[in-house]
Chains A and B, each alone.
Chain A
């Protein structure tokens, strides 16, 4: 028996253990998804807490119907889903444009104090938003944006500046400065260089930032809770919290609602996970 086969045999048992551990852990991560799926696919007469781990005997979309359209004493998520889309789309687009411009300036047009300014901007992404809520409500009320989706868009764009600037700045830092200098020699101005040199290279940067902003704004709760005072303009996370807090809502409807709220960001994650992960890592600063 050769030494390698010996080692391979000795290595087999830990290998089995390794895969067992990984599968058990995967089960832990998938458990809530499993529960969400089996619960929300049950019809109302199959739903009981004592059989919550049983598979549905027949598939039914009743729960989704209730969670989406509403029913007895339940406000459906349809309206707030639409609100969230109306919030997320403009906020993400504006965030991308601002972040890209800021990143361009801070990486290619550096000025004295640029680094200190950048650090001061970054601080904004770590603060607990509780510490700005009272002035925020006062100011939004003063300028007539309190209790409106436009107000929420503004808030998400402003507090999105640090992370979007960070991602684009690090991204553009990878673009050789020689390219910018060549553009200057060719007589391109600030916008010319941006449009013809930086922008064509920026697509992956835009994808990362767009996914990041889409996910975090869609999932955000505190601003949505504070800035929307009437149910009609609530984003979907606030509506879901209300749905689950209500005693009139059956729990299968809550589960179906939770699945509906999770779906858009999950779909993005499944198809564009690589870019999502890049945004995630950028958030820990070591771009």
Chain B
């Protein structure tokens, strides 16, 4: 009896499955399989393999998979250069975010206030997004090449001296100061803002602020005008309307922007490489350059892998909650 019922259930289960797994559904699954395998191998498999390499002794051309535990992580976190990289990532991310969000929001508000030539302004602000970081780097590096200022300036310094702003001249990408440059016991890297990073941040903001503007603009256009109009009728000033209505409604956009821009800045590589090469000294070095240099120039493969895993973890902390949140809200929709 018991057995018969189990068989019944199994049979009906099989029947249901047969009905569900039609020829078309099988084809659908078959069609997506190559992509799933490719991602499984090239993303997850490779990340796993990099993680494994980071636990080995591999130095030099020939692979050496002797297990050494977390030793490589200890080595890089103790190294002045990697500590500098972490500091630079924090500095870069902070200023890059502030710059992009501030400028992006300002641009979006200006474009949204019924200006003439809106389309032209918008196109001008966004076009850097279409350009390679390498091109951006080449041009901005020349703009920020200081020359022998103040007597013989070049680039921006020259422009400054021409328009009577000579006092703003600076050593830009050749400036090796770290300000304020605090020294903390136990930390080899000096705490502060590496001055040579500022030109790189300017170039990065130049490239990405238009994108931020586009995001905010989409958000602003989604706010019903009646909402703001109602507040104005109630006697709210423009500033109050902005502060109490517009800004809170833009919060989800800000969150998205922080995550997208944040993960770009954690991965920044080509722009820094082209503008400063990580210099002067290692003043503007970032983890992206570190991994490349240590792995492919110095052949310290396992250490490079460890630094790459650190990069991945930083990005994952930002991205994974966001992806899960996105998937959840989509189901609700």
Shortest CB-to-CB span from A264 to chain B, Å, is 10
**Contact status of A111 and B330, CB under 8 A, knowing A22-B121, A52-B158, A126-B319:** no
**CB–CB A218/B23 < 8 A:** no
List the B side residues contacting A190 at CB < 8 Å.
23-24, 27-28, 31
With the chains together, A246 CA to B129 CA distance in Å?
A: 26
**CB–CB B256/A127 < 8 A:** no
Interface residues on A, range: 35 or more
Shortest CB-to-CB span from B62 to chain A, Å, is 13
Interface residues of A in 245-263 (CB under 8 A from B): 245, 251, 254-255, 257-258, 261-262
Interface residues of A in 1-49 (CB under 8 A from B): 18-19, 21-22, 25-26, 28-32, 35-36, 49
A284 beta carbon closer than 8 Å to chain B: yes
Interface residue from A102, A132, A254, A283 paired with B42 (Cβ < 8 Å): A132
List the B side residues contacting A131 at CB < 8 Å.
46-47, 50, 308-309, 311-312
Q: Which of B67-75, B166-174, B207-215, B229-237 contacts A (4 or more CB under 8 A)?
A: B207-215
Shortest CB-to-CB span from B263 to chain A, Å, is 5
Shortest CB-to-CB span from B192 to chain A, Å, is 25
A201 beta carbon closer than 8 Å to chain B: no
List the B side residues contacting A207 at CB < 8 Å.
none
**CB–CB B28/A29 < 8 A:** no
**CB–CB A280/B211 < 8 A:** yes
With the chains together, A276 CA to B122 CA distance in Å?
A: 13
- Beyond A139-B46, A225-B292, A262-B135, 16 additional contacts (C-beta under 8 Å) are A25-B103, A26-B121, A49-B155, A53-B162, A120-B39, A124-B39, A128-B308, A133-B50, A134-B304, A161-B39, A237-B270, A241-B273, A255-B138, A255-B142, A258-B134, A269-B127
List the B side residues contacting A245 at CB < 8 Å.
277
With the chains together, A120 CA to B40 CA distance in Å?
A: 9
B11 beta carbon closer than 8 Å to chain A: no
Interface residue from A28, A121, A218, A221 paired with B133 (Cβ < 8 Å): A221
**Contact status of A50 and B154, CB under 8 A, knowing A25-B107, A35-B142, A102-B35:** yes
With the chains together, A220 CA to B312 CA distance in Å?
A: 19
List the A side residues contacting B31 at CB < 8 Å.
101-102, 104-105, 190
**CB–CB A135/B327 < 8 A:** no
Question: SS class of chain B's interface: helix, strand, loop or mixed?
Answer: helix
Shortest CB-to-CB span from A48 to chain B, Å, is 9
**Contact status of A135 and B273, CB under 8 A, knowing A49-B147, A50-B152, A241-B134:** no
Interface residues of A in 104-126 (CB under 8 A from B): 104-106, 109, 111, 115-124, 126
Interface residues on B, range: 35 or more
With the chains together, A53 CA to B218 CA distance in Å?
A: 37
Residues of B within 8 A of A (CB): 23-25, 27-29, 31-32, 34-36, 38-39, 42-47, 49-50, 53, 103, 107, 110, 113, 115, 121, 123-143, 145, 147, 152, 154-155, 158-159, 162, 206, 210-211, 214-215, 218, 256-257, 260, 263, 266-267, 269-270, 273-274, 277, 287-288, 291-292, 295-296, 301, 304-305, 307-309, 311-312, 315, 319-320, 322-324, 326-327, 330-331
List the A side residues contacting B270 at CB < 8 Å.
221-222, 237, 241
Residues of A within 8 A of B (CB): 18-19, 21-22, 25-26, 28-32, 35-36, 49-50, 52-53, 98, 101-102, 104-106, 109, 111, 115-124, 126-136, 139, 155, 158-159, 161-162, 165, 184, 189-191, 215, 218-222, 225-226, 237, 240-241, 244-245, 251, 254-255, 257-258, 261-262, 265-266, 268-270, 273, 276-277, 280-281, 283-286
List the A side residues contacting B320 at CB < 8 Å.
123
**CB–CB A262/B32 < 8 A:** no
With the chains together, A240 CA to B138 CA distance in Å?
A: 9
With the chains together, A19 CA to B111 CA distance in Å?
A: 10
With the chains together, A267 CA to B39 CA distance in Å?
A: 32
**Contact status of A105 and B154, CB under 8 A, knowing A35-B142, A35-B143:** no
**Contact status of A119 and B327, CB under 8 A, knowing A135-B49, A284-B257:** yes
